[in-house]
A and B are shown apart, each in its own frame.
Chain A
Amino acid sequence: MKKYLEIAKAYMKTQLIWRWDTFIDVVLAMAKVIFAWILWSILFEGKEQIAGMGFYTMISYYIISSYLFQLDKSSEISQQMTNMLRNGTFSKYMVIPVHTQAYFVAMAAGKIVFSACICFFTTILCFYFSGISFVAAINIKILFCGAIMIALGLLFMAELNYFLGILTLKFEEISTFLMIKDNFSAFVTGAVVPLALLPEWMLSGMRYLPFYYVTYLPSMLLIGKQG
């Protein structure tokens, strides 16, 4: 366990090298919220609520879901794996005394911890500048459940990307799978539009998919909409 902790730490420190990447990450998180603000301020014209959500609840949802979406750095796993398998450098993981899968999960965890701290301040800034008071669930049990769900959701995404990376052993190139995964996961995690806006039958179906629990449910729990 200790060695994986060290791997996570090493990758967390590596993030400090790419300061501009971190800056752009922050800008991107803010851009997502600003764009959501523009979109929903237009759609809410003359309306108090859409699908049971007021304008500020909707923006709170976007700020939190954007934060959670930014946290997920695991898509780099499949990209890195495919590149390394293609140019022959993947063998380095076979000669070091670690479990490859756990190595990549630890790597993603290290990056996430760094990103979580940076993006947390962005989220605070978003709430501050938008003038929205954070509509959080006060119940400590719900907050705890939300935190566990976020951790499990991020672990699921890391495992999914590891699995997609392994496909390089079977297929000439896997970018098709990755792009399809990106398209669907952005939608089914609720990062594009809140799933509450979908018809009930579709929402019920999504509950059986793990993506539902990655961004959407924790965000809804944190704004106190479900419990």
Chain B
Amino acid sequence: MKNNFKFLSALIKLRLSHIMTFRLGFFGPFFIDTSYFLVQIFAFEAIYGHVDSIRGWGHGEILIFIGTFSLINALNMTIYFFGVISIPEKIQTGELDLYLTKPVNPLLRITFEKVNPGSIPLLLFSACIIIYGAKECGTSFSGANVIGYLLMILLMAILYYDMELLIRCFAFFVFSVNNLVKIESTAIELCLKIPGIAFYGIYKVVFYCILPYGIIATLPTQMLIGVLSLKGILFGMTIVCVFTFLALSFWKYGVHKYESASC
């Protein structure tokens, strides 16, 4: 464990000195995230300018929801996104061999080797949106709610990672995962626009249990506004555990079946 931390710290130092070399590359994620963030804000304005509330959630709650999704996405972009999305290319070109032959956990290295601080400003923008949403709600949040919210954010960031990893691991078995990624982004786009509480019937099963993007921002928001029950907390924790287990097992299975690009 101690060695892993030492390794991670060295990896991040190397990464930072590398991205400082290319200034546009350093600020790239910031521009990408800002554009994505602006688009989401405009889309929010366009939709919720005509709708007063959804299943009891007013503008304040929806703003917290959007801010929370943006916050988790910013964490994803800062910490692991650029590492995880490189998995299919590494598999196709055989570059994964270099990772498998090193005396370090290959997944750990891939996950953290492309840490990018360019998305840190988005964390601040998202926090501003959440604070603004909280003001709109007009209710004060207890310390326990805020701590619970932060823990939920952490759990949901792990779930986001699990989903990204699961989809990219298909590259071990198929020629291209581009279209799967398109389906992933379409599902994320939908779940970013409407809170999970609005889903019902089969849609609820799909977006809570099969493609659990529906809970990623919903559960933390419910936690912050104090409406998340113990059952909801347990459900969130179970889903994270199940998907973490699935993602890691799928990765291990993929590596086991991996025959390198030359075979």
Contacts and interface: CB of A to CB of B under 8 A. Distances in A.
Q: Pick from B31, B49, B51 the residue with the most CB of A within 10 Å.
A: B51
A31 interface: yes
Interface string B22-49: 1011001101100110010011011101
B190 A184 contact: no
A198 interface: yes
A193 B183 contact: no
A151 to B, nearest CB: 24
Interface string B174-191: 001001101100110110
Main secondary structure of the interface of A (DSSP, over half): helix
Interface of B: 22, 24-25, 28-29, 31-32, 35-36, 39, 42-43, 45-47, 49-51, 54, 176, 179-180, 182-183, 186-187, 189-190, 193-194, 198-199, 203
Given A50-B51, A173-B25, A42 B198 contact: yes
B47 A176 contact: no
Contacts of A184: 35, 39
Interface residues of A, number: 33
A208 interface: no
B183 A176 contact: no
Given A175-B28, A197-B50, A32 B35 contact: no
A197 B49 contact: yes
Contacts of B22: 172-173
Main secondary structure of the interface of B (DSSP, over half): helix
B70 to A, nearest CB: 13
Given A176-B24, A193-B46, A183 B35 contact: yes
Given A28-B179, A50-B51, A187 B43 contact: yes
A195 B180 CA distance: 28
Given A28-B182, A51-B50, A187-B43, A42 B194 contact: yes
A13 to B, nearest CB: 19
B186 A32 contact: yes
B190 A39 contact: yes
Contact of A198 (B42, B176, B182, B199): B42
15 contacts: A24-B179, A24-B182, A24-B183, A35-B189, A38-B190, A38-B199, A43-B54, A51-B50, A172-B25, A176-B24, A183-B32, A183-B35, A186-B39, A192-B43, A193-B46
A183 B46 contact: no
Contacts, number: 85
Q: 5 tightest CB-CB pairs across the interface, nearest first?
A: A176-B28, A24-B179, A197-B46, A35-B190, A183-B35
B186 A187 contact: no
A180 interface: yes
A27 B49 contact: no
Contacts of B24: 171-172, 176
A31 B186 contact: yes
A25 interface: yes
A172 B35 CA distance: 21
B167 to A, nearest CB: 13
Contacts of B176: 21
B186 A28 contact: yes
Nearest to A44: B51
Contacts of B47: 43, 193, 197
Nearest to A53: B50
Contacts of B46: 193, 195, 197-198
A24 to B, nearest CB: 4
A199 B39 contact: no
